[in-house]
Chains A and B, each alone.
Chain A
Amino acid sequence: MFSRPDHAGFLPLAQLPSLIAELMALGYQCLGPTRENGAIVMRELESPNDLPRGLQAEQAPGRYRLTSDPHKRYFAWANGPQAIKPQTFAPQESLWRVERDAAGHLQFAAVQPAVTRQAIIGVRACDLAALALQDAHFLREGRRDPQYAQRRDQLFLVAVQCAEPAATCFCASTGDGPTPTAGYDLALAELADGFVTVAGSDRGEAVLNGLKLAPATAQQIEAARQQGQAAAAAQTRSLPGRHLRDSLMSRLEHPRWDAVAARCLACGNCTAVCPTCFCHAEADIPALDGGRSEHVRSWDSCFGEAHGHLHGFNVRADIRSRYRQWLTHKLATWHDQFGRSGCVGCGRCIAWCPVGIDLTEEVAVLTEGGQP
């Protein structure tokens, strides 16, 4: 976010609501961090003053607890259970519906999603990296997913630099954080008295100009830069920086797969919170009167029994093969499909795993001894 420091403005702390008010005036429904069921979730802000201060989240394998930030910062929390995936790839939605008349004739029609212009306040660098991967999947040339595309087009993203990574974070090692570098409309770095603010798109630029901010000083820009460096240095977990495909694909019969399968509950939490997982199931929901049926897709997980189902047998009948499918896709064969790993270092799969399986630990054991 500091590639254009001469364009950085400084948004004083007290003026943060004016940014939200500006977005609301432009017709955006503004989503921001909200405390709900003991976690931070993105919910609609009723008013520009609704953004909570002083929320922090302590995270560890199998653990997520809200705590208080003594400095009462707005964005001292690392992340919540969901990135921005639900805003673009809906957890459940109709793709098409079919009507059947008395003569049995079928009439098919695509379902257009109800799209709201949304601005999300508090997007993290890892979330942006994950969104870029979801874009690569759902907006692939020649095969754009219309539902995803329509929601994606209207998103306004206000990213925030992470100053307080959780113990589960490792975005520095995947190269995706903690400072946002691309993919945002506006990016903020929170300092004690305000935000170094830069635009990353034309519409971000327009909003920034409307706020008529004073330019950020060299000291403020430097403080934000150092804050990002400190947040990277504070991360305690990491993935190896090298390309892991050959390493993992040459260890498909490693005994560690059995060990992790013995702990894994195959609950699918990791895939539900993963910001890059894209699997979805399609199913039909017929109306009770028999006249209509909806064809619905909903998030699916490769840990579920049905994921590998094939006429009369299961390709992945045991948990070992399902965990291996997930990990090798995410970290190995994802490279073949998308040109990079599918992990952005957010650590959600570690925090939200009920038995605390730590992907970085599994990878370290699996790839012990180095290449291939």
Chain B
Amino acid sequence: MNAPPSLDAGPPHAATVVSRTQESPSIFTLQLRLDDAAAQAAYRFAPGQFNMLYLYGVGEVPISIMSDPEERDVIGHAIRAQGRVTQGLSRLQPGDKVGIRGPFGRGWPLQEVSGCDVVLVTGGLGCAPVVSVIHYVLRRRERFGKLVIVQGVKHAEDLIWREQYERWAKLPDTQVLVAASEGAAFWPWHVGRVTELFALANYNPECAVAMMCGPEGMMRSAADSLLARGLPESRLYLSMERNMQCAVGRCGHCQVGGAFVCRDGPVFNWGGVKALLAHKGF
């Protein structure tokens, strides 16, 4: 039997929309399946990696993979309808065709953190790269210590997967801390800045790893709080976003310092990128 095709070089591979779920007014989830059954069966990725999704005649867009790496049947993507490609993708229905290249980049260091507490910090409109880690940890609960989920949103209505947060909060050894800068009626969580929640977070800084995703200003403040509370820099990670067009470190758009985010990231250790994150415009 021939080896399955490599999906991260050359043109995209045809895939079919298996299902589509509207998660919030602007966020939807597409479950995709590669049309080549052998390629689908052989497809492997690590949480934190991304695919380039191609919409026919419009173009490609980098989208984080949010399904579980052991799910062999479909590849899941949560997408915010924001630009030309993602607005087009939002109109797709089951049975429609797209293209996939991937997976690309380096994911979260999940193998290295076995046995430790996991602190996940996200901001903005729900953060798919980190949600994939939540699912990953919950399905392998025995491998990890406490799970602390810290999520900040601007407005209470921006929180997607709200029922999931409420469900996660009830799980043993799992702490959910949510803050909205602006609250709303029946908002059960904190009103204020997400960094105000770190005082409440219950984890052991001696054996914890933190993973952040969201606006860079939020991540800078969160990093300050976490480091001030004793987390070593070597166990603080973040996922970065930049314009990406080739996904293989060639087109130059995602260059930050000595790195191409698509190839050397999107997940970085804090120490490697903190110096440039301190300056606007890189």
Q: Do A and B come from one complex?
A: yes
Residue contact A293 to B248, C-beta cutoff 8 Å: no
Q: Which of B96, B252, B257 contacts A302 (CB 8 A)?
A: B252
| B173 interface hit (Cβ, 8 Å) | no
Per-residue CB contact flags for chain B residues 228-265 toward chain A (1 = under 8 Å, else 0) read 00000000000001110110111111010111000000
Taken together as a complex, chains A and B put the C-alpha atoms of A106 and B249 apart, in Å, by 26
| A324 interface hit (Cβ, 8 Å) | yes
| A28 interface hit (Cβ, 8 Å) | no
Q: How far is the CB of A165 from chain B (nearest CB, A)?
A: 29
Q: How far is the CB of A311 from chain B (nearest CB, A)?
A: 4
| B167 interface hit (Cβ, 8 Å) | no
Chain B: interface residue total (CB-CB under 8 A): 40
What would 13 more interface pairs be, CB under 8 Å, given A98-B12, A252-B279, A302-B252?
A98-B11, A107-B14, A109-B11, A110-B11, A143-B248, A143-B250, A300-B251, A300-B252, A307-B243, A310-B243, A311-B82, A321-B281, A321-B282
| A278 interface hit (Cβ, 8 Å) | yes
Q: How far is the CB of B250 from chain A (nearest CB, A)?
A: 6
Q: Which residue of B lies closest to A95 (CB)?
A: B11
Q: Which of B50-100 contact A (CB under 8 A)?
A: 54, 56-60, 80, 82-83, 86, 96-99
Query: Inside 8 A of A320's CB, which chain B residues have their CB?
Result: 281
| A279 interface hit (Cβ, 8 Å) | yes
Taken together as a complex, chains A and B put the C-alpha atoms of A324 and B279 apart, in Å, by 11
Q: How far is the CB of A258 from chain B (nearest CB, A)?
A: 12
Taken together as a complex, chains A and B put the C-alpha atoms of A138 and B253 apart, in Å, by 15
Q: Which of B14, B96, B249, B281 contacts A325 (CB 8 A)?
A: B281
Q: How far is the CB of B262 from chain A (nearest CB, A)?
A: 11
Residue contact B253 to A308, C-beta cutoff 8 Å: yes
Residue contact B99 to A106, C-beta cutoff 8 Å: yes
Per-residue CB contact flags for chain A residues 278-307 toward chain B (1 = under 8 Å, else 0) read 111111101000100101010010100011
Residue contact B255 to A282, C-beta cutoff 8 Å: no
Taken together as a complex, chains A and B put the C-alpha atoms of A293 and B96 apart, in Å, by 17
Q: Which of B10, B253, B258 contacts A279 (CB 8 A)?
A: B253
Q: How far is the CB of B186 from chain A (nearest CB, A)?
A: 29
Query: Inside 8 A of A317's CB, which chain B residues have their CB?
Result: 281
Q: Which of A108, A143, A282, A324 contacts B99 (CB 8 A)?
A: A108
Query: Inside 8 A of B99's CB, which chain A residues have their CB?
Result: 98, 106, 108
Given A137-B250, A315-B281, A325-B281, does the pair A283, B59 have CB atoms closer than 8 Å?
Answer: yes
A-B contact pairs, 20 of them (CB 8 A): A96-B12, A98-B11, A107-B14, A110-B10, A110-B11, A143-B248, A249-B257, A249-B275, A253-B279, A282-B60, A282-B245, A284-B57, A306-B243, A307-B253, A310-B242, A311-B86, A312-B83, A316-B281, A320-B281, A333-B258
Q: Which residue of B lies closest to A101 (CB)?
A: B97
Q: How far is the CB of B183 from chain A (nearest CB, A)?
A: 24
Residue contact A308 to B10, C-beta cutoff 8 Å: no
| B280 interface hit (Cβ, 8 Å) | yes
Query: Inside 8 A of A282's CB, which chain B residues have their CB?
Result: 59-60, 245-246, 251
Residue contact B280 to A321, C-beta cutoff 8 Å: yes
| B33 interface hit (Cβ, 8 Å) | no
| B106 interface hit (Cβ, 8 Å) | no
Taken together as a complex, chains A and B put the C-alpha atoms of A308 and B241 apart, in Å, by 11
Q: How far is the CB of A340 from chain B (nearest CB, A)?
A: 13
- Which of the listed residues A106, A316, A337 has the most CB atoms from chain B within 10 Å of its own CB? A106
Q: Give the top 10 A-B pairs by smallest Cβ distance, nearest first.
A: A336-B258, A321-B281, A279-B252, A96-B11, A286-B57, A108-B11, A282-B245, A293-B57, A311-B82, A106-B14
Taken together as a complex, chains A and B put the C-alpha atoms of A318 and B13 apart, in Å, by 37
| A309 interface hit (Cβ, 8 Å) | yes
